Structure 1
Amino acid sequence: MKRWLKITLGAAALLMVGAGVYTAYVYHSVQTAANAMYHPRSIVQPAAISTLTTGGAARPAVTGNGSGMPNPAAISQFKPFTVLVLGVDQRPHDRGRSDTMIVLSVNPAEGTVLMFNIPRDTRTELIGRGREDKINHAFAFGGVDMSIRTVEHFLNHPMDYYVQMNMEGFAKMVDLLGGVAVNNPLDFQYEGHHFAQGSLKLNGTEALSYARMRFDDPRGDLGRNARQRELLKQILAQAISKEGLLKVKPILQAAGEQIRTDITFDDMTTFLTRVGPSLRQTDMVELKGHGTKINGVYYYIVDNQERQRIRGLMEQHLLTTAISP
């Protein structure tokens, strides 16, 4: 009996050591992949700032022509935070343009997300360029830094984090999550795919085409923006699910070359294990405006009243104290 007891205990100890080694290997692999994605931005202090109350404490908003003061510790402190998501179509020898610009306002205490697009043709001042142009041109001229500063100036609100995703990375992520389910509002064909009206399950390539189409949509870019928000909402829900958490390693490894962010590995871990599971509702709003041509170029015009409305929605959504760690 003693001999068999020793063998059993020895086998159990060996299994525990093996499990520990494997866990350490997985953790190191995920950390390495996350670190490869980490690219901090340049922070530019504005000449003058106003304050707004967020998470129970005053924080700077943006005035003038500079970047606001982001709160890079927001996730780790379980405070409300904002994220600018940039979907970029990059080509060889070309930085590309951020044809998708989505702002997320995340409130862990309330378990809610507020999401809206900034249409690619929105006319605004490009901060660092010194002139007005389409907002998606900011990325072409100055990359992530100019895009963030321009969006912050446009909304008069700081962006705590950014995520830049190449469209190829988007397709890989959808495939690794096992596809994404959407409710398609209209029947259309695009890039060789037929998208019937109603409930659909899309793979990565299909999801990319679904997100790109705009000319056959009666609402044009606004219709495309709505489909993009729905996709992001569903992808986020799948990523923070129990099934999604089991796929973190392959997702990060596959997306490492396609995604750039200033969210650290520790903050990613906190989001996936603590913040993400608390999110139960995503509200989507639309930035209202009108299209016009200036010198023969099409622009989407958003007036100051609408910008103030959107900023007010963000401020109201973020007005909740942090949850306990």
Structure 2
Amino acid sequence: MSIGKKIILGIVGLILAITLVVVGLGAKVYFDVRGSADQTYESVKRKNPAKREQAVDLEEQDSFSVLLLGIDTGDLGRTEQGRSDTMMVATVNPKDKKTTIVSIARDTYVPIVGHGTDDKINHAYAFGGAAMSMDTVESYLDIPIDHYVAINMKGLKELVDAVGGVEVSNSGEFTQSGYTFKHGLNTLDGDRALAFSRMRKEDPRGDYGRQERQRAIVVGVVKKLLSMDGITKYQEVLEAMESNVTTDMHFADMKKIALNYRDAFTNVKTEQMQGEGFMQDNISYQRVSEDELKRVQDILKGELDL
């Protein structure tokens, strides 16, 4: 796969830097952050608007959702459109001071909205970019998808290095890409983080084990970004994201989130949507049961106050 480029880190990285501005660290920081935010902005033209009668009001601290996409390009010479090999939905609830991240297996078999086919959910990005991914996930989970953040493989590596590495817990020793990861706590730099998040063939849980490791990296980056050490490295964080992250959030939106939502990022809960493997036309897919889908939908709807 390509890595847990997953990343609420994209949001949190910019938000933390913006918070520096909010608390008064000067004009240089402000223009650094605004310039980086402008470079990451990329609008989406969706065929199906978000499932909301009224848009999210960040001033009123409405809960909102973000589709987090890890794209398998940007490293190892890959420059094509790519697929979203990592897909997570994050809900941010400032009233409960909680962020919930749900992982969706990349092989999950779903209707691809706007393409007229049923396929692996990660193919939506290859067919129609962030817009089709947002429409497809929104339809599947029956919740509004308000924004997206996409980060490529190179971005994950540079972001982990920018915050000075992350610490993760590993459930079983394994070797991947020339690196050995011991049982227990491991400190990862960018290259090790990529290798840690790639392994699945030796894991008896397969792709679900990999997704768990990806979430661990996300949480590790968030913790670093929220620490004083992360804040002092804001320039490195911005440089890592400028050419590797895209989002449909404007600088003004990020600034409001920095003011009104920061506490929600200090309490991150994770969920895994579980499926069962099946073969069709010699291709492996994951099918999620109706009960499991409803379980996840209910969690997300609760966090969004729907």
> Could you tell me the TM-score, scaled by structure 1's length?
0.80
Which residue is 1:77 aligned to? Answer: 60
Partner of 1:275: 261
Aligned residue among 110, 119, 126 for 2:112: 126
Structure 2 CA distance for aligned equivalents of residues 70 and 149 of structure 1: 16
Q: Report whether the alignment pairs 1:190 with 2:173.
A: no
- The Cα shift of 1:74 comes to 4.3
Distance 1:124 1:278, change over 3 A: closer
Task: Please state if 1:287 is matched with 2:273.
Answer: yes
Do the aligned partners of residues 93 and 170 (structure 1) sit closer, same or farther apart at CA in structure 2, a change above 3 Å counting? closer
Summarize the Cα distance change of 1:258–1:98 in structure 2 as closer, same or farther, 3 Å threshold: same
Q: Which runs of 5+ in 1 are unaligned?
A: 1-21, 47-66, 321-325
> Which of structures 1 and 2 has the bigger CA Rg?
1
- Could you tell me which residue of structure 1 aligns to residue 72 of structure 2? 89
Instruction: Report SS of the residue matched to 1:285.
Output: strand
Q: Residue 38 of structure 1 aligns to which amino acid in structure 2? A: Y
Q: After TM superposition, list the pairs within 5 Å mapping 1:238-249 onto structure 2.
A: 238-249=224-235
Code of the residue aligned with 2:167 in structure 1: it is A
Cα deviation code 1:249-307 (max 9, x no counterpart): 33112311100001221232333454223544222222122001011110000123322
Matches for 1:1-325 after TM superposition, within 5 Å: 23-45=26-48, 68-69=51-52, 73-90=56-73, 92=78, 94-319=80-305
2:46 alignment partner, SS class: coil
The 2-side partners of 1:196 and 1:71 are apart by 49
- RCO higher in 1 or 2 (8 Å CA, sep ≥ 6)? 2
Distance 1:93 1:174, change over 3 A: closer
Provide structure 2 residue ranges, at least 5 long, that are not aligned to the other structure.
Answer: 1-24
The alignment partner of 1:42 has SS state of coil
CA drift of 1:44 comes to 2.8
CA RMSD in angstroms comes to 2.0
Displacement of 1:168 in angstroms is 0.4
Q: How many residues align?
A: 279
- Aligned amino acid, residue 302 of structure 2: Q
How far, CA to CA, are the matches of 2:233 and 2:138 in structure 1? 33
Runs of 4+ in 1 over 4 A off after TM superposition: 70-74
Q: TM-score, normalised by structure 2?
A: 0.85
- What residue in structure 1 maps to residue 13 of structure 2? none
Query: In 2, distance between residues paired with 1:68 and 1:316?
Result: 15
Q: Quote the sequence identity (%).
A: 35
**One-letter amino acid matched to 1:36:** Q
Letter in 1 for 2:227: S
In 2, the alpha carbon distance for the partners of 1:112 and 1:93 equals: 36
Assess if the C-alpha contact under 8 Å between 2:92 and 2:264 holds in 1. no
TM-fit CA distance, 1:189? 0.4
